[in-house]
Amino acid sequence: MPSSENNSLYASAQKNLLVFGSSFLPDVIVKTSGLYLYTASGKKIMDWTSGQMSCLIGHGHPAVVKTITEHAANLDHLYSGMLSPPVIQLAERLANVLPDGLDKAMFLSTGGESNECAIKLAKMYTGKFEIVGLGASWHGSTSGARGAQYHAGRKGYGPIVRPGMHMLPSPDSYRSIFRNKDGSYDWETELDYGWSLIDKASAGSLAAVIMEPILSSGGMIVIPPGYMAAMKEHCRKRDMLLIVDEAQTGLGRCGDLFAIQYEGVVPDILTLSKTLGNGLPLSAVITSNEIAKVTEERNFMFYTTHANDPLPAAVGLTVLDTVIQEGLAQQAKTIGPQLHAGLHRLMERYGCIGDVRGRGLMAGVEIVSDRETKAAAIEFGKNLSARIMELGLSAIISARTTFSGCIRIAPPLTITNDELSEGLAIFEEALRTTQGSMPLY
């Protein structure tokens, strides 16, 4: 299509679509396939964000297309209380690949919905109401999930609907002021200090902590080794539950099928979304037999129109089987270091990169104006991200001033070595041709 077609579509969008968080990108996408996006003006763009960090096995994967086609024709949507084979099979498959203690599942549509459900489960099981989140967290836009997140989305709506929401400092090794004498990050003291404040603020009704293994929206902040185990111990001491949100890390993204396996911690409740549906609206809440039994006896209710729908559950089963059968978690573990090595080479070459972090095929590139002060370079980061897109690579900066600016990278696990090299070359060309990148040699 000519550029005029793109301009016409974009003008219509500007006229008729509600802005819901950030401005729309100027390129209108008319087709997706594998690792690529195609625009109305004829551009081909490599997708290094997997859509909204969701298309884990690429756009239009043949197995997913086949599943959708078959179930759209034969088994699409049912009354929420009705059972279907895909729902039963997906619950069984998840229970089989997850550690003991994560035994029973239910399926919903979005990550926010699954976290809302998890919070309600925790409240009913414990009989308490206070929820603790991390400072750079993102758990969704429903009232309970939003109340437990602090990265963005709290201002302008009046009081948070649910009382008893508390915040711990994010375990940000790059920016935290908590340091050992040798300058290394002292997360233990930071975490203990955070809990000392929560204990003072608490009404004596602490129910649960909700946390991500990698705080993606908050800037790809990777929790330190031992942090999740320490968090679970803090929960145990206070008779709280631990909820882990694996919206983006689940199903192999970081080199393990689930990030909790890397940490060696079994949470009381696990939520999945994004990657489970490969871009379709599907999420899961998985918990223990004990919690399931007690909450059922207390008449726990979380009815929604699309609870346990067969079509998305069938897609989730296909995605899980594909990841396992094709060894895609191992693929992320193998090719991920090449991604991080390439990004570190760019950091050695350009002073605007203050930090590179992540694990597996999940990476963050923090953009700064000064490495010594770590001052954020938001406007330059926006320009760089736009230039990257112009050159044919989607790697969008999260330009929220709540944490500075970080380019988040999470390509499909099906990416090849050649595609990885091509994307890194585009990234380097964007740095070379964007004023303010601060070349070091």
So which residues are the catalytic ones? 138, 212, 245, 248, 274, 408
Q: Which residues of 304-326 are buried (b: 16+ CB within 10 A; e: fewer)?
A: eebbbbbbbbbbbbbbbebbeee
Cross-strand bridge partners of residue 38: 31, 44
Looking at this protein, which amino acid is placed at residue 279? G
Strand, coil or helix: 425: helix
Q: Are 403 and 364 a contacting pair, CB within 8 Å?
A: no
SS3 of residue 383 by DSSP: helix
Q: What's the rounded Cα separation, in Å, for the pair 255 and 246? A: 13
d(CA 307, CA 82): 10
Q: What is the spatial distance between Cα 21 and Cα 393, in angstroms, rounded to a whole number?
A: 22
Q: Quick one: tokens of 199?
A: 């204990």
Angle subtended at Cα 381 by Cα 53 and Cα 351, rounded to the nearest 5 degrees: 115
> Do 38 and 46 touch, CB atoms closer than 8 A?
no
Backbone angles phi, psi at 177, to 5 degrees: -85, -5
